[in-house]
Amino acid sequence: MSDHPVIIKDENSGQSLELPIIRGTEGEPTLDINSLPASLGYFTYDPGFTATASCTSSITFIDGAKGILRYRGYPIEQLARQSNFLEVAYLLLHGDLPNCSEMDAFEHDITYHTMVHEKLNTFISGFHYDAHPMAMMAGVIGSLAAFYHDKMNMEDAEHRLLAAKRMVAKMPTIAAGCYRHHMGWPAAYPKNSFEYTERFLHMMFSVPTEGYEVSPVAARAMDLLFILHADHEQNASTSTVRLVGSTGANPYACVAAGISALWGPAHGGANESVLNMLDKIRDVSRVGKFVNRAKDRNDPFRLMGFGHRVYKNYDPRASIIRVAAHEVLAELGSNDPLMDLAMELEKIALEDDYFVAKKLYPNVDFYSGIIYKALGIPRSMFTVMFAIARTVGWVSQWLEQAETPTRIGRPRQVYNGTGERDYIDLKSR
Ligand code: SDX
């Protein structure tokens, strides 16, 4: 049964307008307001797009009230338990889980695109040793357009898919290159004998003077975190990638813009900020003081790793990471006091009326940093980890948009500046 339209009546003009309802796969109702400006002469005002759908998409589904996350229909809990990151990358890019031959072909494709042009390593070496790796990533990824201008006809589906695969393949190489530059180590080259995540950890931590064994525990934990961070529908960085893509800009520029958006502490930069916050809290006895600061509207302090624009329930990824953090710490035999502090903070916050009333729960960033730390990833690289994984989501969403005719994104505004006035020359002012 199709919905009846929603009728809005403008009491000022006496006019009415029927707005059709669009329902998503799970029945989520959305008002189509495209006819509003021409029919009633109104725009809508929605800063932060809290009530606005920017597109239709078949990639990821989130139910914020129920804490549901699915990639192409598959629950994140099943993918986390049974899949691996490269298979999830195939799923997000192509829409279905691959069969054996499709997976082999995809793995071969990605593996043979992991190297970067040697000049790119020169680019990385030009940064100061203590440059923040996210600043390096934004610059270096954007520069990939300078190396691949021969295959950037965005009208050509093959060029689009090649660019997408190149970025999935090269992000770990470039990320490891940024880390090694910071450490003063020579660039590491991808070893094709490794699988995706192992190859990344080998590029990160191997040194020329001796062999490096990738810990299976570390590889599995890293792969799990990549799966959990791969996509999340129209979050700030993905919306940025789509908006830049709507101008016809090349995919490397789109992903570079997404990296910059992700870096913000309100978004992907939160995983680094959570550890900084836990360091500042320092002791369980001080948790109450910081929870009170987070509740004070006059205090800009917020509990990093808490709250979410969409989830008004526990972020399903946080639940999975919380369990994995315990397992990784136990298997690596590292007892991190920050884990105990994080759990105490979570307990106190979840029992506090303010957090309960505002439905503020731990999000994906609350526990991920504790695992990164246990794996030896430096704090400044935490958001780079997020960017490696989210590149799959960004390029999948960019491809989905590029495959359908898209108008350039161009929000309107409510102008509240000065009315018209005449110019006064300098001498008379
Ligand atoms: C990610 O969008 C995505 O999908 C993002 C992401 C992804 O995978 O791409 O999930 C990844 O970015 C996770 C979020 C990481 N950020 C942080 O952990 C930073 C701390 N969190 C907050 O900055 C905040 O919760 C946001 C930015 C995540 C959400 O901001 P909103 O949408 O403005 O939050 P809200 O509207 O739900 O807030 C409701 C109220 C507000 O108070 P009032 O104005 O109603 O009085 O809760 C308050 C907020 O001030 N609030 C917090 C809080 N988060 C919200 N108060 C204290 N501590 C917090 N963490």
Is residue 272 within 8 Å of residue 382, measured between CB atoms?
yes
Mutate to test the pocket of ligand 1, among 54, 241, 363 (most ligand atoms within 8 A of CB): 363
Mutate to test the pocket of ligand 1, among 301, 319, 360, 394 (most ligand atoms within 8 A of CB): 360
Give me ligand 1 centre to Cα 305, in Å: 8
The two tokens of residue 420 are: 């018209």
Render 74-129 in DSSP notation, one character per residue.
Answer: EEHHHHHHH--HHHHHHHHHHSS---HHHHHHHHHHHHTT----HHHHHHHHTS-T
404, 327, 396, 403: which is closest to 88 by C-alpha? 396
Is residue 198 within 8 Å of residue 219, measured between CB atoms?
yes
Give me ligand 1 centre to Cα 246, in Å: 27
Query: Which residue is associated with the tokens 């593996």?
Result: 111
Q: Ligand 1: which atom is nearest the Cα of residue 236?
A: 2
Residues 6+ apart with CB under 8 A from 130: 182
Is residue 334 within 8 Å of residue 218, measured between CB atoms?
no
Rg (alpha carbons) of the chain, rounded to whole number: 24
Buried b / exposed e over 112-133, threshold 16 CB at 10 Å, is: ebbebeeebbebbeebeeebbb
399: left (phi over 0), alpha (psi -120 to 50) or beta: alpha
Q: Give me the catalytic one of 181, 231, 308, 315.
A: 308
Q: Give me the catalytic one of 108, 365, 422, 425.
A: 365
Distance CA 343, CA 318 (A): 12
- The CB density around residue 215, as the number of other CB atoms within 10 Å, is 17
Q: Ligand 1: which atom is nearest the Cα of residue 312?
A: 37
Residue nearest to atom 18 of ligand 1 (CA): 305
- Count CA atoms within 13 Å of residue 93 on its CB side: 26
The two tokens of residue 29 are: 């109702």
Residue nearest to atom 5 of ligand 1 (CA): 235
Give me ligand 1 centre to Cα 256, in Å: 24
Residue nearest to atom 31 of ligand 1 (CA): 309
Residue nearest to atom 20 of ligand 1 (CA): 304
Per the annotation, the verdict on 308 as an active-site residue is yes
Residues 6+ apart with CB under 8 A from 34: none
Tell me the three state secondary structure of residue 75: strand
Per the annotation, the verdict on 365 as an active-site residue is yes
- The CB density around residue 86, as the number of other CB atoms within 10 Å, is 22
Residues 6+ apart with CB under 8 A from 137: 174, 175, 178, 259, 384, 387
- Count CA atoms within 13 Å of residue 342 on its CB side: 31
Residues near ligand 1 with C-beta < 6 Å? 232, 235, 266-268, 270, 294, 297, 302-310, 358, 360, 363-365
Mutate to test the pocket of ligand 1, among 358, 385, 392, 394 (most ligand atoms within 8 A of CB): 358
Residues 6+ apart with CB under 8 A from 345: 278, 281, 287, 290, 291, 303
Tell me the three state secondary structure of residue 63: strand
Model pTM?
0.95
Q: Please state the separation of Cα 65 from the chain's center in Å.
A: 20
pLDDT in tens, the chain (429 residues): 678 999 999 999 999 999 999 999 999 999 999 999 999 999 999 999 999 999 999 999 999 999 999 999 999 999 999 999 999 999 999 999 999 999 999 999 999 999 999 999 999 999 999 999 999 999 999 999 999 887 788 889 999 999 999 999 999 999 999 999 999 999 999 999 999 999 999 999 999 999 899 999 999 999 999 999 999 999 999 999 999 999 999 999 999 999 999 999 999 999 999 999 999 999 999 999 999 999 999 999 999 999 999 999 999 999 999 999 999 999 988 888 999 999 999 999 999 999 999 999 999 999 999 999 999 999 999 999 999 999 999 999 999 999 998 899 999 999 999 999 999 999 999
Give me ligand 1 centre to Cα 368, in Å: 17
Distance CA 366, CA 343 (A): 10
